[in-house]
Amino acid sequence: MDINSVLSVAEKYPDLCAAGVGLLMSWGATQSLKRLLPSSMSDDNYRRAVQGIGFVTGWLFAHGAWIIFDPTSSHFEKLYMSAGVGFASPALYSLVISYLSGKFQWAKALSGRPSEDPLK
C-alpha cells in the first residue's frame, strides 16, 4: 500500500479516518498516561480513571483529526461525533484487548495496571 492509496482513502472517507486516528491516538495516550496514576488507587477507581482518560483523549484527538481530515464539516458534527469517539474509545479498547489476549500471550501486557506482570 503506497501513500497515494492511503491519501485517496482519507479523501474518500474523511470521517472514518478521523475516527480511526482519534481512536488509535487515544489508545496510545491512555496507555502512556495510565502509568502516571498512583499505585495506591483501588481497582475500581483505577479503572474509572483510565476510562476517563480514554474518553477525554478520544474526544480531543478525534476532534483534532476531524478538523484536519474534514475541515468543511459543521462544528456540531466535529464536537458530537468526536464525543462519540471518546465514549467508544475505552469500550472498543476493552473488546480489542480481550480478543487479542485470547489469541496472543503478549497482548495481556497491554491491559491492566503497569505494576502488574500479566505474563505470569
- Would you report the helix, strand and coil content of the chain in percent, each value rounded to 5? 80, 0, 20
Rounded to an integer, the average pLDDT of 80-100 is 92
SS3 32: helix
- Note the pTM of the prediction, 2 decimals: 0.82
The answer on pLDDT for 7 being more than 90 is no
> What are the pLDDT digits (tens) for 29-55?
999 999 899 988 898 999 999 999 999
Whether residue 93 contacts residue 30, with contact meaning beta carbons closer than 8 Å, is answered with: yes
The answer on pLDDT for 115 being more than 70 is no
- Residue whose C-alpha is closest to residue 15's, from 93, 86, 78, 101: 78
Mean of per-residue pLDDT scores for the chain: 87
pLDDT band at 116 (very low <50, low <70, confident <90, very high): low
